Amino acid sequence: MTDFRDSSPVVSTKPTTFAMGHQTRYDSWRKSGRWPRAGHLTRRVSARSVSPISWSKRGESAPPLPAAGTAGESIAITVDFDGWGYVHLYSYPGMLELDTYAIPEAHDVTKAFGFGDLSVHEVEMSAVDNTLAYFSYYSGGFRVARIQPSNGGFALNEVGRFIDAGGDGGNNFWGVQVWQHGGQEYVLASDRDFGIYIFKYIGP
């Protein structure tokens, strides 16, 4: 087992609550943790009603309201694809972000539609090796990453993967759970289309 002392890494699959909805905070991160809004969406919205506003505290008179049904200015709302979800590696107890991890396809705008969900759903840490993390990655398959020293800190590096190419092809992994049996560690991964897969990690 690795001793991480005061900066034990913690793996999280969710962005921190304080950052949700604050674009400036997300743009300042090295890699965005915002959940994806796949593809491009454009809508035109016409404002057709205005609620009365209290202007008394400002000592001003309220402007006249338009007649009911009057169309307001048209606005355009666009949402650009900026990637699917990420995995975050945090220090503990300081909760400083040490690294992020995402599969390459999650950055590919051509895979915003038609390739399933290319985001992570669950993470399970090994019960015998606290540097090893197992991920159910929806259409990205089953992934294994190891926490390794990097430039004075720690990084999440992928060390294993599985996507079933047989049958109809592909996967849709939802849950992941470690299981000890006969002195060996196995990983149970639930596929929403094909049932349970049982894995044994044999890498370094």
Distances in Å between the alpha carbon of 88 and those of 26, 32, 55, 178, 192?
13, 10, 46, 20, 24
Q: What is the pLDDT of residue 61?
A: 77
Q: Is 25 exposed, middle or buried (0-12, 13-18, 19+ CB in 10 A)?
A: middle
List the chain pLDDT tens, one digit each, 204 residues.
544 444 456 565 543 332 323 333 333 333 444 433 333 333 333 444 444 555 555 667 777 888 888 888 889 998 888 899 889 999 989 999 999 999 999 999 999 988 899 999 999 999 999 999 999 999 999 999 999 999 989 999 999 999 887 766 688 999 999 999 999 999 999 999 889 999 999 988
Task: Report pLDDT digits (tens) over 176-189.
Answer: 999 999 999 999 99
User: What single-letter amino acid sits at 72?
Assistant: G
Q: What is the pLDDT of residue 64?
A: 84
d(CA 132, CA 122): 14
Which H helix or E strand runs over 186?
A: strand 184-191
Domains of the chain: which residue ranges? 10-36+83-199
Q: What is the pLDDT of residue 123?
A: 95
C-beta separation of 16 from 32 below 8 A: no
Q: What is the pLDDT of residue 129?
A: 95
d(CA 194, CA 14): 26
Length of the chain: 204
C-beta separation of 162 from 137 below 8 A: no
- What is the token pair recorded at 75? 């606005």
Which H helix or E strand runs over 11?
A: strand 10-12
